[in-house]
A and B are shown apart, each in its own frame.
Chain A
Amino acid sequence: MNDIFDHNPQGSLLFKFILLASISATVMVFDYRDTVLYPVRTTLTMITYPFKYAVNLPFDTYEYLVDYFSEHKKMASENRQLRSTLDLYVARNQKYHSIAEENIRLRKQLHAIPRMGEELLLAQILSVSGNTFRRKVTINRGANDHLYTGQVIIAGKNIYGQIDSIAPDSAEVMQLTDIDHAIHVVNKTVLKRRKKSTDKETKIKEQGRGALAVGTGKTNLLELRNIEANMDIKKGDIYVSSGLGKLYPPGYPVAVVSSIEYNSGDSFMKVMARTLTDFTQTREVLAIWHNKNMIVANEEEPESQLKKNKANEKSTLKK
């Protein structure tokens, strides 16, 4: 007898189904077209963050331990090498600061807008998106560290991607290879080639030729679109960001051409390129602030930095 009353009546199931399905459809439309649901997503991300962290913890610990117990000798030699590179970079940095100062002086003379230096923040990759066909990762920095949606993320000196959505303590980064992602790039190698030839006209002409590097959804692979059939391009050419579109800073390496296909009769070539960032190996990335969003001009900064550096130098000399 109890069985009859206990059982979910089919009518109520159908009602619930229709209700939930229509709610889902509404939510989807809003999420696709509008930004009103961002707080909801942020809240859900925050709730699930500890869970995500807990799942990743054993794997991170394992990797940490493997790193920790790797051969001491190797570590020591690496350390020595890194120290020497560091010295090199300190010297280079010094040079950079003097150039920056000079630049500011010259810009002042020209009454130009001061160019800002770039600020960096190191972030760790927490987890990779479970969705096989998207290329997204979660990093352990978020709005609390003043990161923002659309911020550029780099790995080493290469571009990694941009921030897609953000929560207080984490952010989702869209990699260059995500199918939704595109970046405007220019060929850097071709300029070098042109420099050798004396033909100035072609050099100028080639400078403006860019391409759109669109993600393929596959690991480390980009497709370069809008490359005309008569363009000078070779396997191994390096493409750097052009800075068009105001999102990415110009001059950062993006990809190296891996294959070129051309069907006679087409107006464009099919060019594939490997990213210079190895997305399977990268564990740490840098979030950068470049002058697009750092509107608060602080002209004194490089100079004071220079003074600080000099002071540091003196103190080290005294020692």
Chain B
Amino acid sequence: MEETNKQVPVTVLTGFLGAGKTTLLNRILTEQHGKKYAVIVNEFGEQGIDNDLVVDADEEVFEMNNGCICCTVRGDLIRILSGLMKRADKLDAIIVETTGLADPAPVAQTFFVDQDVADRTKLDAIVTVADAVHLSTQLTDHHEAEEQIAFADVVLLNKIDLVDESGLEVVKERIKKINPFAKIINTTKCGVSLNEILNLDAFSLKRVLDVEPDFLTSDHDHEHDDDVTSLSFVSDTPLDMEKFQDWFSKLLQTKGQDILRTKGILDFTGESDRYVFQGVHMLMDASPMGKWPEGKERSSRLVFIGRNLESMNLKEGFENCKSA
């Protein structure tokens, strides 16, 4: 338990070039004065950053040599975070700014894969800054834009003063279709209260318990197969643990590349504890999280964000896990 307090939170800022990442970064750094931040930026950053401790990174994506092709990590982050943890003064937080075209998965996976990084730091949240004017086009043209929305815990929908109300609704619907769990915050010039983007602990299993997705009833007819979408399932019938593990591990092994994020709370037959998990591609963090609250209905909830989800027979697979 004590270990958790020693972990320095890491916030990842993603978003396309020109969306306003650096504006947000500089706001965090000037408003949180008195706190010690390390900022890890790519050398092709947009503008100057006003902080004592700025580290240049190269966004080196490394494949792990463990036979899992989607298991990639940011080698530069491992090096820099391990170095920063040797500092004499304790950092309050670390902020990683990615380049516009970066896929957030290797950043997130770094915190699952590298034990030193996981021991001393924790991924706090992925915050994606999106340009309300250009996001729709970017989502159509670049799969990286979809991934940045898919991985986001918070989407800062910026420059809303430059679109009309109906235009704003269209963009928001588009975001929700990709990722119904991200909190969307409307801003102009990244004007957001910092406690809405910092110290969210969004990757902790505890936070998975808060997941209450809007179950969208949108039809999927007009989508291309490779669009990122999400699917959610609920069951009031308890699940069979063995069947579930068998189905789910096979699913991740074979489709892990297309499954970007998963979250779930599971009710297993014969178990008094709630089982909670969350994952990025094939990597998974899972644990029992205490007893089910008394007087509340037990139910299993499962959420997928990814590509080609329709082809994975997820509904059928999930139904088959129900205890007979």
Whether chains A and B associate is no
